[in-house]
Structure 1
Amino acid sequence: MNIYFQKTHQRSFGTYPLEGEVLMNAIAAAAETGYRAFDTAQMYGNEAETGEALAATGIARDELCVTTKVHPDNFGEADFMKSVEQSLKSLRMDYVDALLVHWPPVGGDIAPSLRLLQQALERGLTRNIGISNYTAQMMRDAKSIVDAPLVTNQVEFHPLLDQSILLRAASETGIPLASYSSVARGEVFKYPQFEEIGRGYGKTAGQVVLRWILQKGVSANTMSTKPENIRANFDIMDFTLSSIDMDRIDALNATNYRIVGKDLVPWAPDWD
């Protein structure tokens, strides 16, 4: 089973934009809650603190699923492996469970960074490789460029954004999606439908959103610094949204509220 959709890893704790004591406390709370999948990136600047916090939990390494991502500035052959080795040193780990390229390179030639990603796998620096912020065509191209399975395409995914093209590409290529900005940085809470649906299940609006993501076949990354919210985000496996409620939420895709575009990130591609 894909590492990103194992039952224990469908819910991943994201670390962006946390740092310092806030990050340490959040990871401690997440680990205590039951999270075993943790997500970081070179771009976040918090790998060392994430590694320190995970070491402090005392959780055995083989129980963890740790993901990090290579910064596009390190996609050159001279920098790629060095940056991954530095990530491992910062994380206090011999390997990560999943290593992703964080963005497509400016210019659009994805092949060189993907080949280096596969070399990192072959060198044992990671157990799995994946991509992030790739378009549907890039997913198809990536599958033909690398020999190893790509375990995820981590993308912005929430009910207010129509990602049906990427979902079809995931089905076509066998590269599952993972979410970031899972509650659209709070924008979803402006829509009363989620709270209304949640009342029928004894769940919060946020839990309904995250459950919808899982039922779309997408693993959910969430971040919070509040222990009660960390627990709520994790507690989404004991109910199933009806097809009627799923359809009701699907209708909000037409909002097409996208957070991450070229205005925010220079590496953003022309989205599907």
Structure 2
Amino acid sequence: MDAISTQGISIPRLGFGTFRMPGGDCQPVVESALELGYRHIDTAEMYQNEEAVGAAIATSGVARKDLHITTKVWHENISAEGIKRAFDTSLMKLGVDYIDLYMVHWPSVDMNVPMVLETMQSLLEKGLTRAIGVCNFNMTLLKAAIEDVQAPIACLQIEYHPFLSQSRMLDYVRSKQIPLVAYAPLAQGRAATDPVLEQIASKHGATAAQVAIAWLLDQDSVITIPKAKRRESQEANLGALNIKLDDEDRAAIQALPKDQRFVTPPFSPDWAK
């Protein structure tokens, strides 16, 4: 599987998301994904499944060095002590010696960006995490992190799928040689039944969901982390790696509405800034 190198780490371009898979039920799901060949697992303290992810890793037989593990600190814990405490808890629950990528999950209101990133960098300097990144930052916050604080941001994780343009963010992060990790790549299931994607899929002997994933992987510097509870869906998502879109496909997808954002918690930043 292709991977992208950034800030000294290598991230497989097709990862496995675990959002909305709380508790022990997550363990067999992640075990299945690892067995099928996924090597990039994305979790977070808020998902309440780090122990299950850790148990799946422990029983998988996959060498730690062959895995990329991302976890994240929740926005309610982004004080200096809160980050350290949250990190220690995540490390313990995952049962590993280090995290590959530790991220700010959501910015908080009036967040002290330098303090947050300096605390994250202290974990990096101690070798507890191999890289740091941010999720759900708007352009103002992202520029503050990269240009003002000059933090070694390894990637930006944001909502991105065929119905939401992220061209502004993509242009910026590409100019800084920072990859974008697309979460909710199937637009919370909507991509699977979209008529345009279904028409493209029929041409390739694929599914609309596979086309949505292939569209993301077709783009430079984009990583994606679809989630799938059923083994058949996990296998199908891997099948997206074999789809080669043509210019006609790309034009049809580009013509879809690009203003549909589906992840909008009340603490979201102002995306226009």
In structure 1, give the amino acid aligned to 2:191.
Answer: V
Q: Which residue of 1 aligns with 2:131?
A: 128
| Residue-by-residue CA offset, 1:129-153 (whole Å, 9 max, x unaligned) | 1110011232222112455531111
Of the three residues 23, 28, 46, the one matched with 2:26 is 23
Letter in 2 for 1:186: G
Taking the aligned partners of 1:149 and 1:8, their CA distance within structure 2 comes to: 15
With 55-64 and 110-119 compared, the bigger mean Cα shift is at 110-119
Residues 1:63 and 2:63 are matched in the alignment? no
Deviation at 1:108, TM superposition (A): 4.5
SS at match of 1:235: helix
Following the alignment from structure 2 to structure 1, what is the Cα–Cα distance between the partners of residues 36 and 10? Answer: 15
1:212 equivalent in alignment to 2:212:
no
Give the one of 183, 188, 192 matched to 1:189. Answer: 192
Q: Please give the per-residue CA displacement for 1:184-231, whole angstroms capped at 9, x wherever unaligned.
A: 111123421111101221211111000101112311111111111000
- Residue 121 (structure 1) shift: 0.5
**Percent identity, aligned pairs only?**
34
- Deviation per CA, 1:105-126, whole angstroms, max 9, x where unpaired? 2125422111111111011110
CA contact (8 A) 1:3 1:9 kept: no
| Stretches of structure 2 lacking an aligned partner (at least 5 in a row) | none
Take 1:159 and 1:81, find their aligned partners in 2: how far apart are those partners?
36
Q: Kindly indicate whether the alpha-carbon contact (under 8 Å) linking 2:6 and 2:178 is maintained by their aligned counterparts in 1.
A: no
Residue 243 in 1 paired to residue 250 in 2? no
Q: TM-score, normalised by structure 2?
A: 0.92
Show the counterpart of 2:98: 95
Is 2:77 the partner of 1:107?
no
Q: Write the distance in 2 (CA, Å) between the matches of 1:147 and 1:111.
A: 9
Correspondence 1:34-53 to 2 at 5 A: 34-53=37-56
2:256 corresponds to 1:233: no
SS of 2:224's partner is strand
Contact 2:105–2:136 (CA<8 Å) still a contact in 1? yes
Moved over 6 A (4+): none
Q: Does the 8 Å CA contact 1:39/1:67 hold for their aligned counterparts?
A: yes
1:180 aligns with 2:183: yes
Pairs within 5 Å for 1:129-148: 129-147=132-150
Q: Work out whether 1:74 is the aligned partner of 2:77.
A: yes
2: distance between equivalents of 1:226 and 1:7?
27
2:86 and 2:31 mapped to 1: Cα distance?
26
Compute the displacement of 1:21 (Å): 4.2
Q: Equivalent residue for 1:271?
A: 271
Aligned equivalents of 1:174, 1:8: Cα separation in 2: 14
Match for residue 155 of structure 2 among 135, 145, 152: 152
Aligned-partner Cα distance in 1 for 2:122–2:148: 13
Unaligned runs of 5+ in 1: none
Query: Would the aligned equivalents of 1:39 and 1:68 in 2 still touch at CA under 8 Å?
Result: yes
Q: 1:118 aligned to 2:125?
A: no
Specify which of 211, 223, 227 is matched with residue 223 of structure 1.
Answer: 227
Alignment of 1:245-260 (within 5 A): 245-254=249-258, 256-260=259-263
Shift of 1:10: 0.5
User: Within 2, Cα distance between the matches of 1:243 and 1:110?
Assistant: 41
Whole-angstrom distance in 2 between the partners of 1:57 and 1:253: 41
Residue 101 of structure 1 and its aligned partner are, at CA, apart by: 0.7
Q: Contact (CA 8 Å) 2:24, 2:49: kept in 1 or not?
A: no
